[in-house]
Amino acid sequence: MGALTGVLYALLGLFLGGWYLGYWSGNFALLLFVLSVVTFCYWLAERLVFLPRRKAAAAALEVQDAERRAKLGQLGIAKVDGDLDGARRAVLAQPWWLDWTAGLFPVILAVFLLRSFLFEPFKIPSGSMIPTLMVGDLILVNKYHYGVRLPVINKLVIPNHTPQRGDVMVFRYPRDPSVDYIKRVIGVPGDVISYRSQQLYVNGERVPTTPMPEFYDEDSMRYVPQFKEQLGNADHRILVNPKLQPFYGADDQRPALVRENCTYNVEGLTCKIPPGHYFMMGDNRDNSQDSRYWGFVPDENIVGKAFFVWMNFSDLSRIGPFH
């Protein structure tokens, strides 16, 4: 078993190394599930097989020691050398391959359940949600806000809240579900969303915006026009540069569902959100690949609602809730 455990750890190290270096993509939820199953098998074997064997061996050791002392006592030898307690502890001790499998099962299971059903941490990798979320923000995502979903397959089993306009939501990228994206919910099923001349309209009504002091973008080292936008129950900040006119690509590059429900022209686009889908946009409107480019997010791709920055090692003042 020690050799088998060593091989399994070597395969795990190879997989994680290739994932980190970008040779292949990985599914962390699936990895945690597999680790939970494998360590559970070791934990079960420890409780049912290996631990009883060690206890039986320890009991046999005690019997042998008692018989030896009795025989020596018959010969008049009262003082007998031997550390029975030390030998018993050595027999009962778990081998390394059980320490690193069965011993880790409770921890891995707790992480798997916590991450699958309660809260999941994410790191913001890009500037598409600036100024709400900055590159390097470590955030928490509420996994049960939109309902309880089965791990790995992400199937909804217990409905809860539905996504609302203005929510900051993590979801699986429709073109590559192994990648998680974070954007703001702009349109819900049945809405008509228009983004024309860099102005947002929901169901024919212009979304109110209020100018704010310019935002200094440290990456580009320039100031960008900043606005407060009222969408849903809470307002939030957005960046829009009137000097930049977005280009959404050729029509034949868009999914069929987008071509059926959206129209594009020189001013922008208008989309009717189909049932079970959502329209997502980044707060950094001129620097965000979102539903304007690749289409709608289906309900089955929802991961959870982002709500809290728990750490940013470059700026501790970032810690706290956000809208």
Question: pLDDT tens digits, residue range 265-296?
Answer: 888 999 999 999 999 999 999 999 999 999 99
> Is it the case that residue 259 has pLDDT exceeding 80?
yes
> Is 122 within the bounds of a domain?
no
Q: What is the pLDDT of residue 134?
A: 93
Per-residue pLDDT tens for 115-167?
999 999 999 989 999 999 999 999 999 999 999 999 888 899 999 999 999 99
| Lowest mean pLDDT segment, chosen from 41-45, 229-233, 246-250 | 246-250
**Enzyme catalytic residues:** 128, 183
Average pLDDT, the chain: 89
| Lowest mean pLDDT segment, chosen from 106-110, 189-193, 248-252 | 248-252
| Lowest mean pLDDT segment, chosen from 15-19, 237-241, 257-261, 300-304 | 15-19
Element (H, E) at 195: strand 192-196
> Is it the case that residue 114 has pLDDT exceeding 80?
yes
In angstroms, the CA 187 to CA 61 distance is 72
> Is 138 within the bounds of a domain?
no
Element (H, E) at 187: strand 180-187
Expressed as residue numbers, the domain containing 86 is 2-112
Place of tokens 């024309």: 196
> Is it the case that residue 252 has pLDDT exceeding 80?
no
Same domain, 166 and 302: yes
Work out the pLDDT band at 8, boundaries 50, 70, 90. confident
Of residues 241, 236, 258, the one with CA closest to residue 306 = 236
- In the structure encoding, which two tokens stand for residue 74, read together? 């018959």
> Is 103 within the bounds of a domain?
yes
- In the structure encoding, which two tokens stand for residue 1, read together? 């078993």
Same domain, 168 and 271: yes
> Is 259 within the bounds of a domain?
yes
User: pTM value?
Assistant: 0.84
User: What are the Cα distances from residue 169, in Å, to 29, 186, 254, 316?
Assistant: 18, 11, 22, 23
> Is 58 within the bounds of a domain?
yes
Same domain, 94 and 173: no
Same domain, 84 and 220: no
More confident residue, 316 or 20: 316
Same domain, 169 and 299: yes
Tell me what percent of the chain is helix, strand and coil, each rounded to the nearest 5.
35, 30, 35
Same domain, 71 and 190: no
Q: What CATH number does residue 176 fall under?
A: 2.10.109.10
Same domain, 171 and 237: yes
Same domain, 104 and 228: no
Number of domains in the chain: 2
Radius of gyration from C-alpha coordinates of the chain? 29
> Is 201 within the bounds of a domain?
yes
Same domain, 289 and 165: yes
Q: What is the pLDDT of residue 69?
A: 73
Same domain, 193 and 99: no
Per-residue pLDDT tens for 91-105?
888 898 999 999 999
Q: What is the pLDDT of residue 57?
A: 87
CA distance from start to end of the chain: 51
> Is 318 within the bounds of a domain?
no
Same domain, 210 and 97: no
Same domain, 98 and 171: no
> Is 177 within the bounds of a domain?
yes
User: Cβ distance 16 to 25 under 8 Å?
Assistant: no
Of 83, 112, 141, the residue at which a domain comes to its end is 112
Q: What is the pLDDT of residue 78?
A: 66
SS3 312: coil
- In the structure encoding, which two tokens stand for residue 206, read together? 């212009």
